[in-house]
């Protein structure tokens, strides 16, 4: 009888602890609906069209300070974002594939922190294999396969995790080459995670989406193809290419954009930027703005004089940051 009473007492205490613990969970910490590509659009589990809107970090090796819980929760509540993108550079200084083992471990830890912060804030999170100067995604194909095997094994039960497997193929790399790489990485991810949304880069800095539309990847579901633009450089001709791809049934996702020129600097083109936003809204295309940092360039969201890593006010934002925030809050 005494054992039975002790067991009952233990259960009551455990229930009380669980109740108090659950009561401290953040409002935004609920599990997010799984997403899937259906036709050219992104939909939730009920088949309702969803648009992801958010911001991308800059390189995690260079601006790791912005990956923090306060920043993610603040942007969710005050900027009205629902997604954050973690830009893991593969090459360049201290890139994932060019730095030493300690640097690689530090970057993986930062990805893990970013995913956990996103979960707690109620955000979708894109793990971005950010090829740029390496150009050809097959340059570090071996490393990519190992990385995404690890990520897919770790986050296979996370409904908010999205994989972007090659940021901006460039340097004349053909769609056939990108497609061959993508098929291998997708296979590796799907062996561990059957359902996660996967974003695939397209030729010419993720602009030639019509080439992917002519020969899309087959045999796998829940794939979307990335379109990147900078309104200071890319105008109607690129929207026409995007429309051609959409007309052929290719699902597009704008995982990076800005309204400066393509270098990330230069004068902002707000007029062309507005045209792009209308196009994205009309076609229900998700978009991620570049970039959350105080780097001294016009594509940074924060002024270079701003040292804050969360809780930013209007005075802390660049003209581009203010413009993007207005767009996010308009929809």
Q: Express each pLDDT in 53-68 by its tens digit.
A: 999 999 999 999 999 9
* Cβ atoms within 10 Å of 104's Cβ, excluding its own: 17
Q: Express each pLDDT in 74-110 by its tens digit.
A: 999 999 999 999 999 999 999 999 999 999 999 999 9
* Lookup: tokens for 180: 């061959």
pTM metric for this prediction: 0.91
pLDDT of residue 90: 98
pLDDT of residue 330: 85
E-strand stretches of 17-170? 36-38, 41-43, 53-57, 83-89, 124-130, 161-164
pLDDT of residue 24: 32
Q: Which of 159, 155, 84 is nearest to 123 (CA)?
A: 84
pLDDT of residue 30: 54
Q: Which is the CATH superfamily of the domain at 49-330?
A: Glycosidases (3.20.20.80)
| CA distance from start to end of the chain | 62
pLDDT of residue 234: 84
**8 A C-beta contact, residue 60 and residue 89:** yes
- Where the chain has pLDDT below 50, the residues are 1-28
Q: Which of 259, 276, 256 is nearest to 268 (CA)?
A: 259
pLDDT of residue 222: 98
Residue 311 has φ and ψ, to the nearest 5°, of 65, 35
The sign of the CA dihedral 216, 217, 221, 223 is negative
Residues forming the active site? 168, 256
**8 A C-beta contact, residue 57 and residue 150:** no
């Amino acid at each position: 009888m005494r054992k039975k009473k002790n067991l009952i007492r233990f259960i009551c205490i455990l229930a009380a602890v669980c109740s108090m613990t659950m009561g401290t969970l953040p409002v935004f910490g609920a599990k997010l609906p799984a997403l899937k590509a259906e036709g050219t659009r992104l939909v939730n589990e009920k088949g309702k069209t969803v648009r992801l809107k958010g911001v991308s970090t800059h390189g995690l090796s260079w601006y790791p300070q912005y990956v923090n819980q306060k920043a993610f929760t603040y942007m969710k509540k005050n900027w009205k974002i629902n997604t954050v993108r973690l830009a893991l550079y593969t090459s360049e200084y201290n890139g994932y594939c060019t730095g030493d083992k300690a640097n690689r471990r530090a970057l993986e830890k930062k990805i893990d922190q970013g995913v956990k912060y996103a979960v707690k804030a109620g955000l979708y999170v894109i793990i971005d294999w950010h090829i740029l100067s390496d150009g050809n995604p097959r340059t570090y194909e071996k490393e990519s396969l190992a990385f995404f095997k690890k990520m897919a094994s770790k986050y296979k039960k996370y409904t908010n995790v999205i994989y972007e497997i090659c940021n901006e193929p460039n340097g004349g790399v053909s769609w056939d080459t990108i497609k061959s790489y993508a098929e291998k990485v997708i296979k590796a991810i799907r062996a561990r995670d059957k359902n996660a949304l996967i974003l695939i880069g397209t030729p010419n800095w993720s602009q030639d989406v019509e080439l992917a539309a002519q020969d899309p990847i087959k045999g796998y579901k829940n794939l979307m193809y990335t379109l990147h633009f900078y309104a200071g450089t890319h105008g109607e001709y690129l929207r026409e290419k995007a429309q051609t791809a959409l007309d052929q049934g290719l699902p597009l996702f704008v995982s990076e954009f800005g309204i400066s020129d393509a270098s990330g600097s230069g004068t902002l083109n707000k007029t062309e930027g507005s045209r792009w936003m209308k196009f994205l809204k009309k076609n229900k295309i998700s978009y991620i703005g570049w970039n959350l940092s105080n780097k001294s360039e016009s594509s940074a969201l924060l002024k270079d004089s701003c040292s804050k890593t969360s809780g930013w006010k209007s005075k802390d934002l660049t003209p581009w940051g203010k413009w993007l925030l207005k767009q996010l809050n308009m929809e």
